[in-house]
Structure 1
């Protein structure tokens, strides 16, 4: 099946086309590199997981290829356990070693090419997968479609996105390739289980499949999904084989050996986490693979036992056994049973917080079409082709393809990131559809071309000899004698044209979309974040934890000099890799939820609550950005309260158009609690007090009146906050049914109520880009704050101090006294940061001024 005849012109043509597809796939993916010019290579790296993988490669190279399973440089103050496998990092590390890459830019340069290369290898594998499922033409189509398919598969293998996802696709496809070969080559083999000579070929292929499975497993524990695919396929294939009286011994041998290899390999690899968690390298995998082996044995023995009995006994018996085994497992092994359920829910299910993670959101029809476009139509055609083929004859490899595709399709519907798995299924099914239709209509194409050629030749001879009648009679006689020269079936030709047209549209649309995305440099790092974190690396105290050292989790203790950096989880790996500081939360969604998580901190409306969280988390610096303040605010609110989310902080309203046919425009307006959150008080007001001035008085109709999903604005007027509040209260005393009034603000810096100053936070750095500029306000993209004890000043009223930032922005920090005291975060002398006081503290209206030394701010001393 997979042999290559070097003397065959066709095989050389196939090899040339596959090579072309690989080159084209690689070219598409390295477009960002080709157009980067003099851009710093660090700026080409994706800002979340790719940075952490680069950190792992650096650590691997610095420690003679020793892989670490515990990292204290993230999720302070507990550190983070690495739950994925080392294979991707080892492959990248060896590539750096071979290339002689030692410096950070050199390591980045080599590593960014690894996913690109893996995508090229996947194209090659897909030729063989397609050939097994069809023929060489199917293989070429599958390889060609894979080379251009867009979406997550393309994005995860694009130059700049250095992560293991494309490796998951590569090794899972390799496993499926070997398993498919077992199915097509061994399905009719008569195996005597007592005679090993009769099944040693099956055993050898199964060992190879087991090794391929292990490679995928050593890259990511998610590989267990393909064990589930094997399980579902095996059950379905046993039922079909029983009904058709086909041998099943090859399935027994294959599944037993494959997962025995997986068990042995995992035990040699070692268990990296306690418990039965299937999302990590635990003993739970061993139990799961044993269950696959035992389940296959039961299926085989039951088929043997029921041989000669009515066929429907078998599926009914399986249903009964499934119910009994589920009940027994839930009682006898509740922990393992719950782990299975939890693993299924995590992989296939949805939770409110998953919508805050872009790659974990559900798949929409629009997103599906954007990614796979005409390939979706061809995919449906491919499914119909498989169903037709399976109905006609025993084709277990096509049953496996169908199950494989169905499981991955469903998982993609639940989490959009699994598009990178689904891409190969769409490519394969599309190839099956196009090649099947072509084969079906090939004879009709020949007839059509033969007829055209024949008519052309006849016309030419008629013109030359002037004897058309005799020739026509002879031609009709030949057509009657040769059925193959009958008229073509034009409806079949129409299907060929449609399939070919859809294939061309699939290739053109996908390649164009991928080209636009690649040439647009979608992964360019945010320069404000880069600037701020480079500043942090050079201007904040070292943590005492060495960036390159591998630490033992059982013995590691953070030094007294260590501290955490609080920011939203999106930026955790940037903090680790660029600043070499320790984030409290990271993109593994660790350190985010719970009473001391990042969500609780940034959504806190009371400073003492926020301070308690930072004290618990050992935080010294807080980094905010404009996105946390705006577009990501709802995500933080959802993590903080999955039920209410941002409902109490912001209101989305619909504004009617000027004409009846113009519809609505939506607008997001802030409610009073928004301005009390820590993210708003820090980023919008620099921790200073803010006084309410103007806002919008708003009247709106709710859903009971409008029958639309959001409130519809009926009146809005900008006015003094006090007047707006009074007017809303008066309106709400006796409003029309379904109508309400409230006070909202459209500005980040115009609160609805007075916002008190923060006493323990001082701005120490801000990035250069201005995101909101008015006559009185200039909000920068990224801001870095230090959490300090604050100096105590006795007095009453309002105290202020003029400040200038590192960007030259001037602002005044103001604070209202509490119980006859001020606790101030800025020093007037001894400050080493670039945000500095340009004068002394003064209590407004009194003429009293104060100098505050740095020691007083850091130690919480009293000035007077």
Structure 2
């Protein structure tokens, strides 16, 4: 912290050189700290991909590296969403994979061979250092204080709100997207201040890169037009604003339309219409400003009013008519869920079922931001005091990001950078006020000496207090990163009674068993959460995965899991399912199991088959969700319940079986399966895999069916006809 405030004391040519050297050294130190703070998972476990989505990204990156870019672009993946498959190249944002592929080939060119897995694991920590640099540049455009940018860079480097999606192994789109988000905003602010086509073109270039990397680009698509619109309303239209916005929109939209997954959305989707509308508005404003110099003031005012009325009327009418005609797509369900927190639960349960799409609890803000929560409003207030064009941008960004972060936990990512910028401005202003103030006193040596002592005491107290807060912030960030955000979902860790660490590796154990003991083309059915991991680690075809593009297909899996065996078995056979995988945490106390997720499977299935699957059938008369003796018949007869608790009672040697997650005492006799047989159960019973039996159309094993056929050769014509009808109905279920 002392280094941050040496710069203003250095003067002259030597002082300027020293200031630049100090800034470079401090920024490199911050970048190193940002990278190091994200390596806990590699040190504690190993170099491994985390979570769910990153496994698909890793698999796609390997395909890109092994088969080339054009093969990747045209890749049809027939091992996912069986039997539908997936046109992968046209249904993803390729920026993450292409970035890793470029780094891989660049290292190979430099004769530094590195496994693609390690590149993917370390990509997010590496880009976190670039994010710190981008935050420094953005803050320097907002505040003239030399320490504000360095403080903001230090904050964003270790803030848990950003680390949560950028630890080593978190190979998701956000790994590079947050850097692109912040850097695009820096280029936009710079373009508005300078009014240069070059800066506007750079903004469009990095915006296009952002579009290729993450669907959150829509935030930029709407924030920049909103900033422009507010500046116009404030009477701050200028040629600088016109040049910057026109350049960004024209080049940026063309760049974004080169991504197949985006295509013509910038001109046909309601999420992008604000950018198009402001582009038209700024042309009208530019024309009006040109006319202003040509006609008298009274006539100009009349022309202005008429022009604005005509523009807004025509724009609104065109938007309504094009939307009704289907040319412009209406607002998506994900957009509505941002404004109405209960919308997704009622209309799109598959979105509401994802934990990171839930509203943010108040403690989460303090958990992810620490004491920056207090500095954030102060920084926004300081921007209000000056309210230059760049300050208007900070205020708008702060308000929107705060709202969206409150609506959805995942969007804490977009809030964290601006919190760090505002906090850096506030803390820098506080430090500058105390550390750089000059002591003042009346004439007389005693007064001057007293003022000097008082000033030194104030500086010492202020510096010590702030240093203490910063130290606590570092400790908090380190603890949160270490304990909450550095554990891969496929490798669990717990503490034994003696304090030693226990590694629970059931996921990889089960996926390895699938890879080694099942045919390469064996179809695996599980809930969609585990689809990417099964495809990445087990290398087996799956019915559904985390892409969640086909709600009906996911609902089919939900129906099979929530129905009786007589209903589930035809569904399994219709989709060529060979094995069914479930996650069960009752023995170990693992709360993230499928029984806890089961109601979401029921709700999604009910949305497609409301007459066959009903959520209320899984609740008791008192409205309780039970798995013990008081569980409803529908619950006890469901395939999910039977697979979870099959043979579980045998572990307790005649005693009362206990589900440690739900704190329930189970029946002494467990459920029996007739259409599936247990194939594998992991060491801690977290993963259970069942093989689908080869039965005939009336639910008997193959051998008994053959014996039955031999013993009843003399069948009447009517009996044979009824049997054929039964087989056809079962096969077409």
With the shorter chain as reference, the TM-score category is: 0.7 to 0.9
**Aligned in 2, Cα 1:349/1:312: closer, same or farther, shift over 3 Å?**
farther
Equivalent residue of 1:823, what SS? Answer: coil
Q: Structure 1 residue 293 and structure 2 residue 279: aligned?
A: yes
Q: Report what 2:225 is aligned to.
A: 231
Q: Structure 1 residue 412 and structure 2 residue 405: aligned?
A: yes
Deviation of 1:748 (Å): 4.6
Deviation of 1:542 (Å): 2.5
Q: Tell me which of 78, 82, 85 is aligned to 2:84.
A: 78
Equivalent residue of 1:534, what SS? Answer: helix
Q: Tell me which of 643, 660, 683 is aligned to 2:644.
A: 683
- The 8 Å contact of residues 76 and 87 in structure 2, kept in 1 or not, is answered as yes
Q: Tell me which of 565, 579, 584 is aligned to 1:607.
A: 565
Distance 1:502 1:89 in 2: 40
Equivalent residue of 2:172, what SS? Answer: coil
Q: Report what 1:88 is aligned to.
A: 96
Greater shift after overlay, 590-599 or 72-81?
Answer: 590-599
- The 8 Å contact of residues 529 and 546 in structure 2, kept in 1 or not, is answered as yes
Q: Tell me which of 336, 341, 364 is aligned to 1:345.
A: 336
Greater shift after overlay, 174-183 or 409-418?
Answer: 409-418
- The 8 Å contact of residues 135 and 417 in structure 2, kept in 1 or not, is answered as yes
Distance 1:326 1:410 in 2: 26
Distance 1:264 1:273 in 2: 11
- The 8 Å contact of residues 490 and 507 in structure 2, kept in 1 or not, is answered as no
Q: Structure 1 residue 788 and structure 2 residue 693: aligned?
A: yes
Q: Report what 1:63 is aligned to.
A: 67
Q: Report what 1:633 is aligned to.
A: 598
Deviation of 1:388 (Å): 1.6
Deviation of 1:825 (Å): 7.5
**Aligned in 2, Cα 1:13/1:682: closer, same or farther, shift over 3 Å?**
same
Unaligned runs of 5+ in 2: 1-11, 493-503, 585-591, 707-733
1:200-259 deviations in Å (ceiling 9; x for gaps): xx111111111111111121243122020011111111111x2xxx45221111111112
**Aligned in 2, Cα 1:62/1:175: closer, same or farther, shift over 3 Å?**
same
TM-score (norm 1): 0.66
After superposition, residues 351-430 of structure 1 pair within 5 angstroms as 351-352=344-345, 353=349, 354-390=351-387, 395-430=388-423
Equivalent residue of 2:665, what SS? Answer: coil
Q: Tell me which of 602, 617, 626 is aligned to 2:575.
A: 617
After superposition, residues 173-252 of structure 1 pair within 5 angstroms as 173-186=182-195, 202-240=196-234, 242=235, 246-252=236-242
TM-score (norm 2): 0.77
**Aligned in 2, Cα 1:123/1:59: closer, same or farther, shift over 3 Å?**
same
Greater shift after overlay, 63-72 or 252-261?
Answer: 63-72
Q: Structure 1 residue 17 and structure 2 residue 26: aligned?
A: yes
**Aligned in 2, Cα 1:49/1:427: closer, same or farther, shift over 3 Å?**
same
Unaligned runs of 5+ in 1: 187-201, 452-471, 544-562, 656-665, 697-717, 719-743, 770-779, 793-820, 830-864
Q: Report what 1:171 is aligned to.
A: 180
**Aligned in 2, Cα 1:94/1:825: closer, same or farther, shift over 3 Å?**
farther
- The 8 Å contact of residues 628 and 679 in structure 1, kept in 2 or not, is answered as no
Q: Tell me which of 577, 585, 602 is aligned to 2:536.
A: 577
- The 8 Å contact of residues 263 and 289 in structure 1, kept in 2 or not, is answered as no
Q: Report what 2:588 is aligned to.
A: none
Cα RMSD, aligned residues only: 4.4
After superposition, residues 655-674 of structure 1 pair within 5 angstroms as 671-672=631-632, 673-674=634-635
Distance 2:289 2:614 in 1: 53
Q: Structure 1 residue 433 and structure 2 residue 426: aligned?
A: yes
**Aligned in 2, Cα 1:154/1:478: closer, same or farther, shift over 3 Å?**
closer
- The 8 Å contact of residues 95 and 111 in structure 1, kept in 2 or not, is answered as no
1:623-673 deviations in Å (ceiling 9; x for gaps): 112054432223323433479986542569999xxxxxxxxxx99866212
Distance 1:277 1:21 in 2: 39
Q: Report what 1:805 is aligned to.
A: none
1:762-817 deviations in Å (ceiling 9; x for gaps): 22222222xxxxxxxxxx3222222233269xxxxxxxxxxxxxxxxxxxxxxxxx
Distance 2:554 2:97 in 1: 34
Q: Report what 2:700 is aligned to.
A: 823
Deviation of 1:15 (Å): 1.1
1:78-99 deviations in Å (ceiling 9; x for gaps): 1234433212111112323344
- The 8 Å contact of residues 575 and 583 in structure 1, kept in 2 or not, is answered as yes
Give the structure, 1 or 2, with the largest relative contact order (CA under 8 Å, sep 6 or more). 2
More strand by share: 1
- The 8 Å contact of residues 762 and 826 in structure 1, kept in 2 or not, is answered as no
Distance 1:586 1:595 in 2: 9
- The 8 Å contact of residues 382 and 426 in structure 2, kept in 1 or not, is answered as yes
Distance 2:456 2:314 in 1: 54
- The 8 Å contact of residues 160 and 369 in structure 2, kept in 1 or not, is answered as yes
Equivalent residue of 2:578, what SS? Answer: strand
After superposition, residues 683-702 of structure 1 pair within 5 angstroms as 683-685=644-646
- The 8 Å contact of residues 378 and 499 in structure 1, kept in 2 or not, is answered as no
Distance 2:169 2:600 in 1: 26
Equivalent residue of 1:763, what SS? Answer: strand
Q: Tell me which of 515, 518, 524 is aligned to 2:491.
A: 524
Q: Structure 1 residue 510 and structure 2 residue 474: aligned?
A: no
**Aligned in 2, Cα 1:290/1:341: closer, same or farther, shift over 3 Å?**
same
**Aligned in 2, Cα 1:380/1:316: closer, same or farther, shift over 3 Å?**
farther
Equivalent residue of 1:613, what SS? Answer: helix
- The 8 Å contact of residues 762 and 788 in structure 1, kept in 2 or not, is answered as yes
Q: Report what 1:818 is aligned to.
A: none
Distance 1:109 1:485 in 2: 56
Equivalent residue of 1:622, what SS? Answer: strand
After superposition, residues 585-604 of structure 1 pair within 5 angstroms as 585-591=544-550, 593=552, 596-604=555-563
Q: Structure 1 residue 537 and structure 2 residue 515: aligned?
A: yes
- The 8 Å contact of residues 564 and 619 in structure 1, kept in 2 or not, is answered as yes
Deviation of 1:611 (Å): 2.7
Q: Structure 1 residue 259 and structure 2 residue 249: aligned?
A: yes
**Aligned in 2, Cα 1:768/1:318: closer, same or farther, shift over 3 Å?**
farther
Distance 2:372 2:97 in 1: 33
Deviation of 1:183 (Å): 2.4
1:395-417 deviations in Å (ceiling 9; x for gaps): 11111122222222222222211
- The 8 Å contact of residues 96 and 111 in structure 1, kept in 2 or not, is answered as no
Deviation of 1:49 (Å): 1.0
Q: Structure 1 residue 147 and structure 2 residue 151: aligned?
A: no
Distance 1:319 1:645 in 2: 52
Q: Report what 2:54 is aligned to.
A: 50
- The 8 Å contact of residues 76 and 86 in structure 2, kept in 1 or not, is answered as yes
**Aligned in 2, Cα 1:234/1:473: closer, same or farther, shift over 3 Å?**
closer
Distance 2:54 2:443 in 1: 74
- The 8 Å contact of residues 121 and 170 in structure 2, kept in 1 or not, is answered as yes
Greater shift after overlay, 530-539 or 570-579?
Answer: 530-539
Deviation of 1:142 (Å): 0.6
Equivalent residue of 2:115, what SS? Answer: helix
1:530-572 deviations in Å (ceiling 9; x for gaps): 22222222222232xxxxxxxxxxxxxxxxxxx6321011110
Distance 2:424 2:328 in 1: 39
Equivalent residue of 2:694, what SS? Answer: coil
- The 8 Å contact of residues 271 and 331 in structure 2, kept in 1 or not, is answered as no
Deviation of 1:12 (Å): 0.8
Deviation of 1:593 (Å): 4.8
Deviation of 1:681 (Å): 1.6
After superposition, residues 466-485 of structure 1 pair within 5 angstroms as 474-475=444-445
**Aligned in 2, Cα 1:651/1:416: closer, same or farther, shift over 3 Å?**
farther
